Chain A
């Protein structure tokens, strides 16, 4: 079957670093994406890894190891506005269909 596993919740203080892991088992693999969703809002794209390695976008970085079917999203210098749900998603076909994980709720405390 197809599955993506990520932790359900992570809590950290402002200024800290949080790593959200995602392991996947899918029938095809063309890349791993991360989306952020604030309460009541729409999911928005954060980052994408099509190849192994680290991608950095400001305070956020994403990593992929295709041989391990594993990736992570790293949130640095946490801010209160980073409190949100974060979803990993696998593009399992060439034309853009995504399989989403259940999401990780990140709670940032003062």
Chain B
């Protein structure tokens, strides 16, 4: 079974702090993703990575950066946390996609609920 783990389930940080959220997957997946989930807004993509050291911005990258130094690990960094970054953060991984009929299912971690005060 694919396993995606996240470093913390709950995190409380102060405004202005630098915050690191870590994600590790054990299935040798090329693709990794960071989402934030807010009520009524679904899952919104922050950043994704399709290979080591490769990253691309998602729909809401402002205020975030990422790092992928090893294939199994994808980190989300909040350079200076703000209260509007209080949210549930979900990491996911998947095999790479090519055009075709396969689902390229994304496997999600349990999430980190971050509160910025």
**Chain A contacts to B: CB under 8 angstroms:** 4, 8, 30-31, 33, 41-45, 48, 50-51, 87, 89, 91, 93-103
Contacts and interface: CB of A to CB of B under 8 A. Distances in A.
B50 interface: yes
Nearest to B38: A102
Interface in B25-66: 31, 33, 35, 40-45, 48, 50, 58
B71 to A, nearest CB: 16
Contacts of A8: 40
A43 to B, nearest CB: 5
13 contacts: A30-B99, A41-B110, A43-B90, A87-B43, A94-B99, A95-B97, A96-B96, A96-B97, A96-B104, A100-B35, A100-B42, A101-B42, A103-B42
B48 A97 contact: yes
A102 B109 CA distance: 19
